[in-house]
Amino acid sequence: MPPSHSLRSHIALFIALLVGALTWLLGTLIGQHTSQQIREDIGRNMAEVSYAMVDRLDRDMASRSAVLRVLGNLQTLRQPEDPAEIRRLLDSLQKEIPSIAWIGFTDPAGQVLASSNGVLEGASIAQRPVYLKGREDLFIGDVHEAVLLAKLLPNPSGEAMKFVDISLPVTANDGSLAGVLACHLSWGWANEVAQSILAPIQDRRMIEFFVIGRDNSILLGPREMIGQSLRLPALDGLKPGESRWAVEQWPDGNEYLTGLTLSQGYKDYPGLGWTVVARQSLDLAYAPAQSLLLTILLWGCGLALIFAMLGWVISGYFTRPLQEIATAADRLSAGEINEIPELRGSREVHQLSQSIRHLVESLTLQQTALGVMESLAHHDALTGLPNRMALEKFLPQAQQRSHLQHGCLALLYLDLDGFKPINDIHGHAAGDHLLREIAQRLRSCLRDGDMVARLGGDEFLMVLQVPGQDAQQHARQVAERAIATLGQPVLLEVGAVAIGCSIGGALWPVDHNELDEVLQLADQALYRAKQDGRNRALFQSELEKHLS
């Protein structure tokens, strides 16, 4: 009849389940409350930030129009007798306000008399809204593209240039129309405002921001969404200056915490009906709550184990018969008896007798485990290659072996070319995948008795056993094979990528009697190989010839 479950195990299991259940219940309640609180806090925060950006945009537009009004009252424009003086004035203003892409002054008929950098001087803009509406009163137009002006202005990015128009009439001293002062503000100014206000929060919380026009088209946001129409229920009924937040389902089908504010203008500037919208994925918003829940559960598991152990100890009071087996075990270890007596009772009595019989086997397994731990300490966790500790242990042995065989050691210092851009663009996961593939390829280049170790980052060291005769030629063959092997494209999840490899080599004891000095010489050769164009191998002897 098989031994029954012990009382101690029942008590310990009951306590562990009880503590675990209470922890799960408490964690769930706290997680739900925290999720609700975080959602409300982030929602209000995004609404406040959207309001701050709308207010900043309105204030900036109002200040730009105020500057133009002040400029329009100058006598230089009210009596436009010297176009060169007007141009100097406009150039100075553009220099002080970089967001002004173009500013010009026309005669009453709409011909440009003077402009910043002389762009469009002599041309007629009489049919353009910036002139037609500006000759009547202050005009502030919505975001638009200006194809002709974009061709005449510098555009390093190559993207479509967008502008906001501001224009106003300039009256002569006799009250007649002296001309129209017209200005194109670069829409990149709005992006600069967004970055100055929102970048710190956006980087920390992964929040996306949009500027929506009066017609619900996206004026500012992710590049692929510019120009698309955005329809959200939260936009309906939004009043000027009002901020609100809600959980919205966006056109991509995902739900986001969404905060938004409608422009209300500033002072006598009525605003253009822009709406700033901020959004954050619910998964990202709830991440702190999920992290808190996981922490509670982990602590709960730890407490469950602690209380289970406590119950296990207390319940030992009710399992005194086990003391008979313990006493017998002590006598066995002292050599007083040959075996533990067979006692009938709970499962623990039977299990203890079996444990003693397997004592030697357990000790052997422990010794094996220690060997595994030592192996882990000498190998790189990412690539599985030997690390610096293993290299320091291997080099004296390899040095002694080469000395007995009258051979040489070739130290090849390797550094990957083009690894950092891949790691920066595609992320650390892609970089780790690439390093593991590089490690596997380097192993394939080794021969019996050779070793390759990862020194850190994208730096590796190959230690080669080469014959005394033609040592450098043998080492170069391995180096060229490594360069060719690493030069093959590597297929990652993001697609195929290609990198190169630069190698600096030195020979012991040919180049120096001290192994540490040979390693330094290999490092110097690597540095020179990178300076000479990378993706090549350069040895110390070749470096000396090159320098001489």
**Catalytic residue IDs:** 458
Rounded to the nearest 5°, which phi and psi values hold at 400?
Answer: -65, -40
Long-range contacts at 126-134 (CB < 8 A, ≥ 24 apart): 129/165, 130/165, 130/167, 130/180, 130/182, 130/184, 131/106, 131/167, 131/180, 131/182, 133/167, 134/167, 134/168, 134/169, 134/180, 134/181, 134/182
First to last CA, the chain: 90
CA distances 81 to 84, 85, 103, 114, Å, are 9, 9, 18, 11
> What is the dihedral sign for C-alpha 531, 536, 542, 545?
negative
489-505 burial, b at 16+ Cβ within 10 Å, e below that, comes to ebebeeeebebbbbbbb
Q: Across 3-122, where does the E strand assignment appear?
A: 100-106, 112-115
CA distance 86 to 92: 10
What secondary structure letter does DSSP report for 229?
A: B
Please list, in sequence order, all residues whose beta carbon lies within 8 angstroms of the beta carbon of residue 338, skipping any fewer than 6 positions away.
Answer: 332
**How many residues are there in the chain?**
548
Q: For residue 228, which amino acid is it?
A: Q
* Radius of gyration of the chain measured on its C-alpha atoms: 38
Residue that has been written with the tokens 């200056």 in this structure: 241
CA quadruple 505, 508, 513, 516: dihedral, nearest 10: 50
Torsion region of 496: left, alpha or beta (phi above 0 gives left; psi -120 to 50 gives alpha): beta
Question: Starting from the edge strand earliest in sequence, which strands make up the sheet with 243-249, in order?
Answer: 218-220, 208-212, 275-281, 255-262, 243-249
